[in-house]
Amino acid sequence: MVESFHVTTNDGKIALYAGMITSSFTFAEFTAGMFWGRMSDKIGRKPVLIMGLIGTAISMIVFGFAPNLATAMIARALGGLLNGNIGVLQTTVAEIVTVKEHQPRAYSIMPFVWCLGSIVGPAMGGALAQPCDNYPGLFQRGTVFDKFPFLLPNIVCVAVLGLGITIGILFLEETHPEKKYRRDHGLELGRWIIRTFQGLFTEPVEESPKVFHFNEDFENDDPPPVYRSKENSPRLSSVKGPQVTSQTDDIEQQSESKGCGVQKAFTKQVIITIVAYGILA
């Protein structure tokens, strides 16, 4: 793609400009990563993840129509600015998988899928690029794919992103502790679609009327909590105590986190992990 821009006659500098395009995305993502993390704390994980996919789709459309090197760099930088999904996604997985024994398996799935996409994606991009040269029977000269020979793989990626956005809106549940109880119209629509499809492929089952036996049912059931005293009720005492304690702990944690939240986050182990990850990248 850089070679088609004719920005240089020196083939040795093509790799330099290609690296600049790649770095523009990474640098923009680096500058906006903390912003999207804070936004996910304010508005929830699900909206940020969906907005990240939409931002990536927009940048790919601009990238596919890029006529020169500057537009290509701006398109990739736009994708980095609008996509903060990496950090938010890891937070989402941590909030979904609360059992620590299951977290290593959950976290191993993400790099596996990423590496799988890194294998399939470049192969697919190379196969779909310059379709008028590679598939002259399907793509004629003088069309938009002749003028923009790298548009087709980006359109395919946008279609994949559109599928991901649809699935996210309909079936992704919010995991933020304070936001997950609010009403989600997209999730409601997704559940309605599932119920509708299940109703089409399953026959209704007639339920037999339940026979109520007064003596047996009341002998086997516990008496209602309203008839128990507060002092002797294990249910009320077990619920009441932790609630008060958790509220007090939350207030204390909030007051402590206001002053030294950054110092608590960047511990020695966290800094070592960040440095090691940076060296790896």
Please tell me the predicted confidence (pLDDT) of residue 110.
85
Instruction: With 0.75 as the threshold, say if the pTM is over it.
Output: no
Check pLDDT > 60 for residue 248. no
Please tell me the predicted confidence (pLDDT) of residue 108.
87
Give residue-wise pLDDT tens across range 216-225: 444 444 444 4
Give residue-wise pLDDT tens across range 15-25: 999 999 999 99
Please tell me the predicted confidence (pLDDT) of residue 240.
41
Percent of the chain with pLDDT over 70: 79
Please tell me the predicted confidence (pLDDT) of residue 85.
87
Give residue-wise pLDDT tens across range 168-213: 999 999 999 999 899 999 999 999 999 998 888 776 655 555 554 5
Q: Which of 73-82, 120-129, 237-246 has the lowest mean pLDDT?
A: 237-246
Per-residue pLDDT band for 244 (boundaries 50, 70, 90) equals very low
Tokens of 34: 């903390």
Residue, of 168 and 250, whose pLDDT is higher: 168
Give residue-wise pLDDT tens across range 253-273: 554 545 456 678 889 999 999
CA distance between the termini of the chain: 24
Check pLDDT > 80 for residue 140. yes
Give residue-wise pLDDT tens across range 92-101: 988 988 888 8
Please tell me the predicted confidence (pLDDT) of residue 243.
45
Residue, of 240 and 185, whose pLDDT is higher: 185
Check pLDDT > 50 for residue 122. yes
Determine the topology of domain 2-195 in CATH: Growth Hormone; Chain: A; (1.20.1250)
Check pLDDT > 90 for residue 81. yes
Check pLDDT > 60 for residue 235. no
Residue, of 241 and 277, whose pLDDT is higher: 277
Average pLDDT, the chain: 82
